Amino acid sequence: MEITIDPPPDRGCGSAAILFSQAFEKIRLAGGGRLRIRDGEYLLGPLDLPGSLTLALDAGATLRFTDDFNAYPPVLTRWEGFECLAMHPLIFAQGARDIRIEGEGTIDGNGYAWWAAHRQKQGKSQAVKVLPADPSSPPSGGGGRETGFLRPPLIQLVECENVVVSGIRIRNSPFWTLHPVFSRRIEFQGLRIENPADAPNTDGIDIDSCEEVRIVDCLVDVGDDCIALKAGSGNQGVEIGRPTRNVTISGCTFRSGHGGVVVGSETAGGVENVAVSNCRFIGTDRGIRIKSRRGRGGLVQNLSFSNLVMDGALAPGLKPGSLPACSHSGKNP
């Protein structure tokens, strides 16, 4: 099955959302299909992707997401290594197989209002909405869990398999940009990921307790870590015990970012069998970084780095580091 969508005459969020919802339901009932998005701008709320889907964006197509925070209801997810209720990802797939997102178009998270709200909430130390932070949870990685304002990632894949995202431009994420969790056989190829250098916590790609991941020929220019390899946090992460392993990163270019390729800081399940090769780091704060908190747990092993070019990086080499100590429960020992 192939379905084609054109921009609705009404540019409001509701009209485009209905078109996508109807198309996804037809594809789900048919057991799979291809959805082509023609040139134009589509204002959307959160999307839930079915399995066996190819989402193809024409070169002039832009999916732009609403910055109405109330449009993103709480869902159970993993947020900075901790399973909890957080705002619905802009694009979400759970338990799905055989998904492709491809083409030459753009996915725009429209993150400006999210970043401004985050700065305000952190500055005032206010809790907002009804997403309670668990006081026994491990320390926040910097995203602001203590405020309760748990911004959504742009694309999150949970318990998914056989997913390819290729060719598109992804920009202005409210929080982490691409976040596969508990997933396997994931490929990111030829992507252009762009968030402003001062956009808080806008990592490019966060591989979180995943296996068999390939990241190839991507350009990443963001406001935090370009690629981060993670595996859960605190007692919960240790108990779940799912590592990130068998990851290949090659042919990528990293520009603005706190770190180019980073392990951690959420390492409870372990990170192993990672190969990084033929990549360029241009003006990145740190080239390769391994970071955690003493007491977080997790074995990091079998990492290889080859043929890397670093230009203007503040700390170009391998930089192991430790954040302030904590126990698995998040309390200072």
Catalytic residue among 203, 206, 208, 224: 224
Higher per-residue confidence, 107 vs 329: 107
Lowest mean pLDDT among 113-117, 294-298, 303-307: 294-298
Q: What is the pLDDT of residue 146?
A: 65
Q: In a 10 Å sphere around its CB, with 0-12 CB exposed, 13-18 middle and 19+ buried, how is residue 307 labelled?
A: exposed
**Is 208 marked active-site?**
no
* Residue 179 bears catalytic tag: no
Helices (H), 31-164: 112-124
- Which of the four pLDDT bands, split at 50, 70 and 90, describes residue 331? very low
Count of helix runs (H) and strand runs (E) in the chain: 3, 30
Question: pLDDT confidence of 295, banded at 50, 70, 90?
Answer: low
Give the separation between CA 171 and CA 254, rounded to whole angstroms: 15
In the three-class reduction of DSSP (H, G, I as helix; E, B as strand; rest coil), residue 120 is classed as helix
* Chain segment 134-183, per-residue pLDDT in tens: 444 444 566 666 667 999 999 999 999 999 999 999 999 999 999 999 99
Across 123-132, 196-205, 299-308, least confident range: 123-132
Give pLDDT, residue 234: 86
**For residues 234 and 88, which has the higher predicted lDDT (pLDDT)?**
88
Work out the angle at residue 107's Cα, subtended by the Cα atoms of residues 103 and 113, and round it to the nearest 5 degrees.
175
Predicted confidence (pLDDT) at residue 57 exceeds the cutoff of 50: yes
pLDDT value for 52: 99
Say whether the peptide bond before residue 21 is cis (omega within 30 degrees of 0): no
CATH of domain 2-323: 2.160.20.10
The one catalytic residue in 203, 221, 258, 285 is 258
**Residue 313 — very low, low, confident or very high, per pLDDT cuts 50/70/90?**
confident
Least confident segment among 66-75, 130-139, 195-204, 313-322: 130-139
Number of C-beta neighbours around residue 67 at 10 A: 17
Taking the domains of the chain in order of start, what are their residue ranges?
A: 2-323
User: What 3-state class would DSSP assign to 236?
Assistant: helix
